[in-house]
Amino acid sequence: MVYSGTIGSKAYYSDFVNVGGIIGWADNANITMSDCLFAGEYSGGSKFHPIGCKYDAASASIKCTNVYYTVQPTSVEKHTLADTSKPAHTITAGEYVTVGGSKATQYNVSGITAYGTGLAYNGKYYAAKDETVTLGNTLPAGHDLTGYTASAGTIDGDTLTMPDSDVTVNVEYELGAIDISLAAVSFERRHIVYTGEEITPKFTVKFGDTVLTEGIDYTVSGETSAVDAGEHTITITGVGGYKNTVSAVWVIGDASTYVPPVITYVKGDGAVRLDWTAVRGAESYAVMAYLNGEWTKIAECDSNTYTITGLTPVKEYKVAVITKLDGEWFTDTSNAIVVTPNAPVYPQVNVEVRGNAFRLSWDAVPGAEKYAVAYYSAGKWRLLDQFDATRTVYTRTKVPAGTYQLAVGARVDGKWDISNLNQRAVTVTIK
């Protein structure tokens, strides 16, 4: 416990003494005190002290374990301090210094405010002569500890051996070196085409917005130059105000080692979706179409997929995907494939019959150039009429009585869609 009050100069066996320690004054008193700190004020002259006493009494035996006090009695008249108690001295922690020890816990017992044992109490730290205290620090980021200093006592590393007096502890530090592993290394060209000659890439090292200088802020080692194709690594080592290392990779590649992406596609209505495998180190990709006898870039993207729209049903298109590496396009189109969108949906025909006439109508087919109406006769489909795709209605009058099988087909990209006519046919009956 901790006593933090004031002991007055007059207190006798018949008086109430408001203290947080233990005081014995009866004859032959046997008192044990443990885990206590008296950190209050003493104004009692020779009358009382919280750490053991005898007052007009025969011998009093007091045993103290881990008991501290911060004030000495003004006299030893009728007063004996227990030999095993310890005078406590304060430790003042300077800026950024921490002192080991947990804060005392407060208790309230019979109206007495007391605290469980702890090195820290009421904003102060206590320890006795020759006891050791562990020091720590809360230095701001980017600062390195160089050591501790004390106004008295002995410091060994982060351990303070207490003197027989109060002590102030401060920390010594210096501005720490910056960790260069957090810097960014960028190459003017990270992917360089193989030439058969020695290549030395240019690069920049930046920490935030600051461009670092070789020889002052860092040194460079590793494969700073190379002839052979492949990956090459350089290592940046911090010097001066920088520490640690950071590595970066640059690449020499050629057409013989470059592998173009593999392309697949999914058909859509008037569109196709291209998908392709990723190329290591690719900055972007371009979708190429073979138009009018030459390759033409139709799109550029960062992902591994692209949808080409506005295509004509049934028509075939030759496409390829090329890769941009370190600012250069590898224009290898050997991965070209032929794609085609979904075939057009054949017209869904509605029939109206009035007397000896019938009327056919249908929804427009995307990309249709013309429509044709056919009828089935003598085991064959025969052309009845054809016309421009602006019409989606066909009317026929003066039709002889009978039952007829009719179908409508569309011409898209110069080709007639005449597939599955038997399944598409409608029946017209004239009475």
* CATH code for the domain in which residue 288 is found: 2.60.40.10
Cα–Cα distance measured from residue 46 to residue 52, given in angstroms and rounded to the nearest whole number = 13
Is there a single domain that holds both residue 325 and residue 368?
no
Burial 332-358 (b: 16+ CB within 10 A, else e): beebbbebbbeebebbebeeeeeeeeb
Residue 49 included in any domain: no
Give the Cα-Cα-Cα angle 106, 1, 165 (nearest 5 degrees): 110
User: Is there a single domain that holds both residue 421 and residue 359?
Assistant: yes
Q: Could you say which of 126, 160, 175 is where a domain stops?
A: 175
Would you state the pLDDT for residue 320?
97
As a whole number of angstroms, the distance between CA 147 and CA 154 comes to 13
pLDDT of residue 33: 59
Q: Which amino acid is residue 190, in one-letter code?
A: R
The residue type of 69 is: Y
| Distance (Å, whole) CA 172 – CA 381 | 102
User: What distance in Å separates the CA atoms of residue 364 and residue 349, rounded to the nearest whole number?
Assistant: 11
Among 306, 339, 372, give the residue marking a domain's end: 339
Last residue of a domain, one of 312, 339, 366: 339
Please tell me whether residues 267 and 221 are part of one structural domain: no
Does 130 lie in the same domain as 201? Answer: no
Identify whether 221 is part of a domain. Answer: yes
pLDDT of residue 318: 97
Residue 206 is predicted with a pLDDT of 95
Total domains present in the chain: 4
Domain contains 223: yes
Beta carbons of 284 and 324 less than 8 angstroms apart: yes
**What is the pLDDT at residue 60?**
52
In a shared domain, residues 144 and 117: yes
Say how far apart CA 321 and CA 411 lie, in whole Å.
31
First to last CA, the chain: 118
User: From edge to edge, which strands make up the β-sheet containing 97-99?
Assistant: 97-99, 132-137, 159-161, 154-156
The type of residue at 266 is: V
Q: Are residues 426 and 367 in the same domain?
A: yes
Q: Is residue 3 part of a domain?
A: no
Tens-of-pLDDT digits for all 431 residues of the chain? 343 434 333 333 333 333 334 444 445 555 565 666 665 554 544 444 444 444 444 555 556 666 677 765 544 444 445 555 677 788 888 888 887 654 444 444 333 344 444 456 666 777 788 888 888 888 876 678 889 999 999 999 988 898 999 999 998 887 778 889 999 999 887 777 777 789 999 999 999 899 999 999 999 999 999 998 888 999 999 998 899 999 999 988 765 667 889 999 999 988 999 999 998 778 899 999 999 999 999 999 999 999 999 888 778 999 999 998 877 788 889 999 999 998 767 888 999 999 999 999 998 988 889 999 999 999 999 999 999 999 999 999 999 999 999 999 999 888 888 888 888 899 999 99
Residues 378 and 418 in one domain: yes
Instruction: Please indicate, yes or no, whether residues 356 and 417 belong to a single structural domain of this protein.
Output: yes
**Domain identity same for 141 and 209:** no
119: domain range? 93-175
